[in-house]
Amino acid sequence: MGEDKKEKKPLVRAFSAGGVVYRKTTKGREWLLIKPTGTKQWRFPKGTIDKGETSKEAAEREVFEETGVKVEIEEKIGSEQYFFQLKGERIFKIVTFFLMKQVGGKVFVEDKWAHEVEEVCWFDEENALMSLSFKGERDILKKAINKLVNNK
């Protein structure tokens, strides 16, 4: 009665892919995380799957673009799904993550990606789990750690 109904915005689907990247050191495994520009969040490198690209190709490309690290994909490790709003659109995002091992390159953010990534850092397992900003990504990391522990 007299209430204005909010116009329901259409739902847009978005697909991304990312990497759960590790390397072995003398102190154990380390995990590669990024801090997106303008945030205090630590996340896995990830990004939009381009037209004509597979999720694996997108994950490898995004990891290299955002971190400078070359990787070898070992396997799909899981996915996360969430809703958010951007520029008035409701977006349902599905992110597929791949377990990856560093095979080359070194941590470096090119100037052309500095608007997206402020910092890249290797973390030991305990600090990676504490530093990841979102539960979904912490769960993905736990799954990756368990896979590596149980496959050895």
pLDDT, tens digit, 9 for 90 and up, residues 65-93: 999 999 999 999 999 998 888 888 898 99
CATH topology for the 12-151 domain: Nucleoside Triphosphate Pyrophosphohydrolase (3.90.79)
Looking at every residue in the chain, the average pLDDT score rounds to 90
Dump pLDDT digits (tens) for 89-146. Answer: 898 999 999 999 999 998 877 666 667 788 999 999 999 999 999 999 999 999 999 9
DSSP letters along the chain, please?
Answer: --PPPPPPPPEEEEEEEEEEEEEEETTEEEEEEEEETT---BB--EEEPPTT--HHHHHHHHHHHHH-EEEEEEEEEEEEEEEEEETTEEEEEEEEEEEEEEEEE-----GGGTTTEEEEEEEEHHHHHHHBSSHHHHHHHHHHHHHHHHH-
Mean pLDDT calculated for residue range 26-48: 94
**pTM higher than the cut 0.75:** yes
